[in-house]
Every structure is written in structure tokens, then in C-alpha cells.
Amino acid sequence: MSVKERALQLITNPNGRMSTSDTLVVSAFISSTLVLLYSTFKGDLTEWLFLGYISAWVAQSQASKQAAIKRDREVSNHE
């Protein structure tokens, strides 16, 4: 599998259509990581910037897991 195919898997649904939410998450991750790297190489990285970066992605991950659990419960209740 090529790099391009793997990158497209990050932003598409299982049915092959582009996922807006996945695209936004990947874009936010790339842009925030670039800001973190830029601040690091510039010598301006602070504990607060690093803590904010880590906290934002942990919070996003946990919110995503909770939404998936809720969605799975609703699906199993309708069956």
C-alpha cells in the first residue's frame, strides 16, 4: 500500500467517501504539530504550550472514544 493510499484512508469513511470530521482532525493534528515543532526549533517551547498540545489531543481522543461507545450502544439497542 502506498503512502498516498494510507493517507487517504485517514480521511475517508469505510464506504470510500471523504469524512469531514476525520479530515478536520487530521488537519488540526498536522497544524498543531507543526506549531509545536516550530516553537521547539525556534527555542520558544514552553511547558504550557506542550501541556496544551498534549491535553488537547488526549481530550479529543477520549471524546471520540465516548462518542463511539454511545453510538455502539444506540446501534445495539435498535437491533
Tens-place pLDDT, residues 28-64: 899 999 999 999 999 999 999 999 999 999 998 888 8
**Is the overall model pTM greater than 0.75, yes or no?**
no
pLDDT at 41: 95
Confidence of residue 79 (pLDDT cuts 50, 70, 90): low
pLDDT bucket at 70, cuts 50 / 70 / 90: confident
Q: Are 39 and 49 within 8 A, CB to CB?
A: yes
End-to-end CA distance of the chain: 36
Digit-coded pLDDT (tens) for 3-17: 888 777 777 777 777
